[in-house]
Amino acid sequence: MGIKPETGLDGLLQAFASPDWPTVRDAVDQGGGLLRHAAMEPFVHARLGERMFGLALHEKWEVRKALAHAILFLRHETFNRIFAVLEKDDNTWVKSAAKRTMSRRKEISQTDLLKDEHGDLMLKWLSDLEEKHGIRARGAAKRVAEKLQNQFVRELNHEMVKVVSPMDLSLENLERELEKPRLNRSELRKHAGRAKSRLKFMTAILQSFRKLTQNTDVEFQTENLQSVVDEVVHLVRDRKIANTAISFENRVDQEIMVDINRHLFLQAISNILQNGIDASLDHKNEPTIHIDASVENRSRVVLSITDQGTGMSERDTRNAFQLFATTKKDGTGFGLTIAKKIIESDHAGLIQLFSQKSKGTTVTISLPLKQEEQRW
């Protein structure tokens, strides 16, 4: 008798109850294929899993054997129940098929079999949305989610390139030093140290992307603010920028000490300086980015970064820290969002932006000198 290949989920479920066992077996085979290709549709797995469990004691061993193969990609708690029955089946063929399925499940990677828990959660939300508001609402939400995902991946790549370029330069400098007839150990240590520092910086960037939606403890150390600013200036200066005439003026008092997470703070300031560089590339003169700091009430430090770039409109200034807000042609708007998260959430600080079209931008950062006084 059999069933038609185009039979949908409801047709398969009806076929499971057929008195014709070849029809049931064919339906089970098609159900296994559906599970494989509907790996991200939880409701399909739930409905098929419950009905398949009822076939684990089917009178025909051919059906039970087909079932043992079909549950390979079943992502539902009924898998364990079905397997528990089949592995004790009196028929050798059925029992062997069940063991092979379990072996294959172990060989398949966790990602391929179960996907990501966040992906499953997203699809559950989409299914709930479809149930309440229809298929068009689900489709629109899915397109928005995919767009946000693509933008996130682009920005991650953007952040990585910002670190890889100067790290590559440090390694090239190290290689050139090694090719010289006489080795300068001081220069070797300097270039190796910078490459190592930027590798740690890259790790910090990856961690901060995760931290955008997580609240975790941040470790702090008392750092010399002038030294930290010098390091981040070297970091952005080593990147290849079109306008090499851009200069930096570090006017931070060498006596200022502040509790920060160095790598996170470097990332935040790096993002701000990079924005200043990008805004200054078309400046007719030789623009300078000024970096100043002052201590207020013996408890907080205020760091300001001022560029002479293109500036921003009043509207763009208001939206500057919003996710994906950007005035750059190829920008995706993550830099200031990450900086805000690092400064305000991780360091109990405050970041503000003041800008005027065609006149430049100033970013001010206020931080507690001692972090333990801000924690509760």
Domain boundaries, the chain: 9-115, 155-211, 221-374
Does the pLDDT value for residue 332 go beyond 50?
Answer: no
Q: How far apart are CA 312 and CA 92, in angstroms?
A: 75
d(CA 320, CA 243): 24
**247-250/288-296 β-pairing:** parallel
Q: Which long-range contacts (CB under 8 A, 24 or more apart) does 202-206 make?
A: 202/160, 202/163, 202/164, 202/167, 203/263, 204/263, 204/264, 204/266, 204/267, 205/159, 205/160, 205/163, 205/267
The mean per-residue pLDDT over the stretch 124-140 comes to: 74
How confident is the model over 67-121, as pLDDT tens digits? 999 998 888 888 889 998 999 999 999 999 998 888 777 655 433 434 444 555 5
Is the pLDDT confidence value at 292 over 90?
A: yes
pLDDT of residue 375: 47
Confidence label for 327 from pLDDT (cuts 50, 70 and 90) = low
Q: Which two tokens stand for residue 186?
A: 């001081």
pLDDT at 376: 39
pTM: 0.48
The predicted pLDDT at position 6 comes to 43
Rounded mean pLDDT, 318-325: 64
Characterize 312-332 residue by residue with b for buried, 16 or more Cβ atoms within 10 angstroms of its Cβ, and e for exposed.
beeeebebbbebebbbeeebb
Q: CB count, 10 Å around CB of 189?
A: 12
Least trusted range by pLDDT, from 183-192, 247-256, 264-273: 183-192
pLDDT given for residue 310 in this prediction? 83
The bridge status of strand 350-356 relative to strand 257-260 is unpaired
Homologous superfamily of 221-374: Histidine kinase-like ATPase, C-terminal domain (3.30.565.10)
Domain covering 9-115 in this structure, CATH number = 1.25.10
Please state the φ and ψ torsions of residue 285, each to the nearest 5 degrees: -90, -160
